[in-house]
A and B are shown apart, each in its own frame.
Chain A
Amino acid sequence: MENVMEVKDLRKEFKAYSSRTGLKGAFRDLLTRNYKVIPAVNDINFSVRKGEMVGYIGENGAGKSTTIKMLTGILTPTSGSIIVNGMNPHKEREKFVQTIGVVFGQRSQLWWDIAVQESFRLLKKVYKVSDADYNNHMGHVIRTLDIEPLLDKPVRKLSLGQRMRCELAAALIHNPPLLFLDEPTIGLDVLVKLKIRDFLKEINEKYQTTILLTTHDLSDIEALCERVILLDEGSVIYDGALKNLQEKWSEGKELKFQFLEKVDITAVKVLTSELPVKWELEEKEQVFTATVEDSGELISQVIAKVVAAYKIKDIKINETSTEEIIRNIYEKGAV
């Protein structure tokens, strides 16, 4: 499969001005200002193949948005090279943006004061979409995202979830082969989120649309992306399958017990002393947590012993969540 995106040694530096203290400092700032050069994106490399859905994740300020803005031709890189859809985004901006769709979750690309369909109509002209293509493609998009009844309302009267669905539709008017989504599900309820996810999966299958997604909601990534690129302080610290990350970093399983009668933690510990189990007790809720390796045999044994000795109110088996994995990685700053 061909690469739709090639990023080599990409770097973006910003000047960060700092103010001097006090009145005297303020006057000196009028003449000369102190600044530091800070690399927001620090020599990153990656490539994306056609039809892939890639999660681009990192903490706030890790450089995700800056990268997306360089990939979409908005910002000029300080150094390094970008080839997206066979073009240099910044050099050939007007031709290039014809081939991409972008959704910025925090900004609206629809016109605030006018009806949604007027915005669509303008975008249709802007992207030179023929009537036949528009009716065919957008008819489907509008039905799937269920925005038909919203079309004649001005954008300012839409709720966030309604607006977001319209934003997504607006980004797809020209049916671009490559879609950038910068936090598309920010602040949305579960139902809208699910709808958007299903829709993204569908267009990915139907048109082989390549999608680059940044989000802080890891359940989005889990639902959509097989591959993730992890960014920390401007550098790529992991690039690969999400599954590998989970396997490598998962810390076994947690068994949570609640008992009907009052049970002492030392008694439980004695009970399972010959098995490799770590017990913890949460005093308030009386929840006993056993951390064990992820092996079916071991888990069954622990449960069997405990159940044989005490009456059980509730059992839960938890895997280490992706969220925890990512949190661990952020804290350590490396994979």
Chain B
Amino acid sequence: MDKYFEMIRIRFLMMLAYRTNYYTGILIYSINIGAYYFLWSAIYGSKEHIVGLSMTQMTTYVAVSWMARAFYFNNLDREMAVEIMDGRVAIELIRPYNYLGMKTMQGLGEGVFRLFFFSAPGLIIVYFIFPIQFTWDPSVWGLFAISILLSFLINTELNLLTGITTFFLYNNSGLIRAKRVVIDLFSGLLLPISFFPGWAQEVMKFLPFQGISYFPSMIVTKGFSHHQALEAILQQFVWVILLFLPIQLLWYFAKKQLIIQGG
């Protein structure tokens, strides 16, 4: 396990190696939250509630989902694609560790870094500018913590799946981009799932995406009852396990048909 923790540390160092990226990151997240805040206040107009969410809840929802995104979001699929396309994956395979496990750990290192040095300061800035209401109930934050850890796992698993397809497709940048849009839309980042038409909500129940952003954000904004929150976490957990299987299967075939590109 030691080596996997060391990898988290290395990822920290790599994030710190480029300071400008770090500062602009905070800025971009704040701007995003601001943009969505103004968009939603125009939509709400004089209405108190839309689909059971008040304007303050909505603002909090937007702020929390963007900050949670900083934690679960990573570019592992693109990194894998680049490593496979230029053949650097060869180097990864001569080391005594599990490639996918190590990638997950890199993603986690990046996520933890962003959570503490990106989300937390960003959230403080946002808290003073926009009308956001946080609960101080520790059990809610406890459930949130479990929930975003599971969101991270679901999102990372989807990224690994997309990344592995590079072994078969050699160039899958289209797929990566499509996956990103699908996740932003269906995970409830842009629009809470409860705003979708009824039939779409039904379909979503059978997809893993709402476990990425909608569940944790609803838990913090108290859009979910305690019981609903537990159910949501259970559902996330099931998806983490279900997505594990196709990854193992694809990885098995990927290794067989691996070609190191570029000598």
Contact = CB atoms under 8 A, between A and B. Distances in A.
| From A102, A123, A126, residue with most partner B Cβ within 10 Å | A126
Contacts of B3: 122, 125-126, 128
Contacts of B18: 113
Contacts of B9: 122
Interface in A75-101: 75-76, 90, 93-95, 97-98, 100
Contacts of A128: 2-3
B258 A75 contact: yes
Contacts of A113: 13-14, 17-18
Interface stretch (B92-100, B119-127, B171-179): B92-100
Contacts of A73: 93-94
B87 interface: yes
Given A114-B10, A122-B10, A126-B3, A104 B17 contact: no
Interface in B81-137: 87-88, 90-91, 93-98
Interface string A116-131: 0010011101111000
Interface in A230-287: none
B150 to A, nearest CB: 27
A65 B263 contact: yes
B66 to A, nearest CB: 26
A127 B260 contact: no
B6 A100 contact: no
Contacts of A74: 90, 93-94, 258, 260
Interface centre among B9, B17, B18, B93 (most CB of A within 10 A): B93
Contacts of A111: 10, 14
B247 interface: no
A128 B1 CA distance: 10
B10 A102 contact: no
B4 to A, nearest CB: 9
Query: What does DSSP make chain A's interface, helix, strand, loop or mixed?
Result: mixed
Given A75-B260, A121-B6, A126-B3, A102 B17 contact: no
A114 B97 contact: no
Contacts of A109: 91, 94
B255 interface: yes
Nearest to B263: A65
Given A97-B95, A126-B96, A118 B90 contact: no
Nearest to A95: B96
Given A76-B255, A111-B10, A97 B263 contact: no
A289 interface: no
Contacts of B88: 107
Contacts of A123: 95
Nearest to B257: A76
Interface residues of B, number: 26
B170 to A, nearest CB: 10
B10 A69 contact: no
A213 to B, nearest CB: 16
Contacts of B256: 76
A244 B113 CA distance: 60
Given A126-B3, A126-B95, A76 B258 contact: yes
Contacts of B87: 107
B10 A118 contact: yes
Contacts of A154: 17
Interface in A37-83: 65, 69, 72-76
B259 interface: yes
B6 A107 contact: no
Nearest to A14: B259
A68 to B, nearest CB: 10
B168 to A, nearest CB: 12
A19 interface: no
B156 to A, nearest CB: 20
Nearest to B6: A125
A106 interface: yes
A73 B260 CA distance: 12
A127 B13 contact: no
B254 to A, nearest CB: 11
Contacts of B6: 121-122, 125-126
Contacts of B190: none
B96 A98 contact: yes
B7 interface: yes
Contact of A106 (B93, B259, B263): B263
B92 to A, nearest CB: 9
A296 to B, nearest CB: 45
Contacts of A121: 6
Nearest to A111: B10
Given A76-B256, A154-B17, 4 more contacts: A74-B93, A97-B96, A114-B13, A122-B10
5 contacts: A74-B93, A97-B95, A113-B17, A122-B3, A122-B7
Interface of A: 14, 65, 69, 72-76, 90, 93-95, 97-98, 100, 102, 104, 106-109, 111, 113-114, 118, 121-123, 125-128, 154
